[in-house]
């Protein structure tokens, strides 16, 4: 479904290039639920909130994140606080985190991942769609420039999470993603136009049928009136 005010999300724009058909729907749904819980725990941890209990299945992934989180110097934003919107290319996104890592002068854009295998769309999502949103459409503007971006893969065995860095992909990934967003929005607007056209034609047909029915009714009454004259 379209996002806020009909604007599509980064995930929706990249959906045609993501294929989960080989995965059992029940397994996929369970993994998505686990991923959502992990994101909630990670956000709470970064915001310094008290976490009363972590569900057993998520514990190793969360421990994996916490071992990596020792690298974090400062938190600029987390997903639950901010929605980024690009009006010029017509899309929005919820960026998991923008952080300053120890030893870096700039900021790092992060997306938390729990799948073992890397998806081909991750660079487009993170170094393309998300990078453009954060760099160009942060409100208020970033305190310092973005320096790096990547996916943090939290591990099932609880060992320190792995960072897949996509900083080198930014120029090409941004061009590719914005092109995909333009095509997506063009096709969406075309489909909306077709639906409106069909609705107008259907309404016109109904009005025409009603007018014809009224005309026939009038003719019938006129004929009856003439037949009744002496």
Give the domain CATH number at 79: 3.90.320
Indicate if the pLDDT at residue 229 is higher than 70: no
Give 31-50 pLDDT, tens digit per residue: 999 999 999 999 999 999 99
Q: What is the mean pLDDT of the chain?
A: 87
Whole-angstrom CA distances from 42 to 35, 64, 79, 96 are 10, 11, 10, 9
Residue 197 lies in a domain: no
pLDDT for 210 equals 60
- Residues 26, 220: Cα–Cα separation, whole Å: 64
Integer Cα distance of 13 and 183 in angstroms: 9
In a domain, residue 119? The reply is yes
Residue 226 lies in a domain: no
Q: What is the mean pLDDT of residues 140-152?
A: 95
Q: How far is CA 152 from CA 37, 48, 173, 212, in A?
A: 16, 19, 18, 67
Kindly report, residue by residue over 185-228, the tens digit of the pLDDT. Answer: 999 988 765 655 555 555 645 556 565 555 565 555 555 555 55
Domain presence at residue 144? yes
Quick check: 133 and 182 in contact, CB under 8 A? Answer: no
pTM, two decimals, is 0.81
**Number of domains composing the chain:** 1
DSSP annotation of 203 reads H
Sign of CA dihedral 113, 62, 149, 86: positive
Residue 176 domain-assigned?
Answer: yes
Structural domain includes residue 216:
no
- Let me know if residue 31 belongs to a domain: yes
In angstroms, the CA 138 to CA 150 distance is 18
Q: What is the mean pLDDT of residues 71-83?
A: 89
Count CB atoms within 10 A of the CB of residue 188.
Answer: 16
Domain hosting 180: range is 4-187
């Amino acid at each position: 479904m379209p996002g806020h005010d009909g604007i599509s999300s980064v995930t929706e724009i990249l959906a045609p290039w993501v294929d989960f058909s080989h995965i059992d729907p029940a397994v996929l749904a369970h993994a998505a639920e686990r991923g959502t819980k992990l994101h909630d725990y990670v956000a709470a941890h970064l915001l310094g909130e008290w976490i009363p209990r972590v569900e057993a299945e998520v514990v190793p992934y969360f421990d994996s994140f916490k071992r990596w989180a020792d690298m974090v110097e400062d938190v600029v934003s987390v997903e639950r606080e901010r929605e980024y919107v690009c009006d010029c290319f017509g899309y929005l996104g919820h960026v998991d985190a923008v952080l300053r890592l120890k030893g870096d002068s700039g900021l790092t854009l992060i997306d938390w991942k729990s799948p073992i295998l890397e998806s081909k769309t991750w660079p487009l999502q993170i170094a393309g769609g998300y990078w453009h949103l954060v760099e160009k459409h942060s409100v208020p503007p970033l305190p310092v420039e973005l320096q790096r971006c990547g996916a943090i893969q939290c591990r099932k065995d609880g060992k320190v999470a792995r960072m897949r860095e996509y900083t080198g992909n930014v120029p090409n990934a941004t061009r590719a993603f914005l092109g995909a967003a333009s095509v997506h929005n063009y096709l969406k607007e075309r489909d909306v136009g077709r639906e409106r056209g069909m609705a107008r034609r259907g309404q016109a047909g109904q009005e025409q049928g009603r007018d014809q029915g009224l005309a026939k009714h009038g003719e019938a009454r006129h004929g009856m009136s003439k037949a009744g004259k002496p």
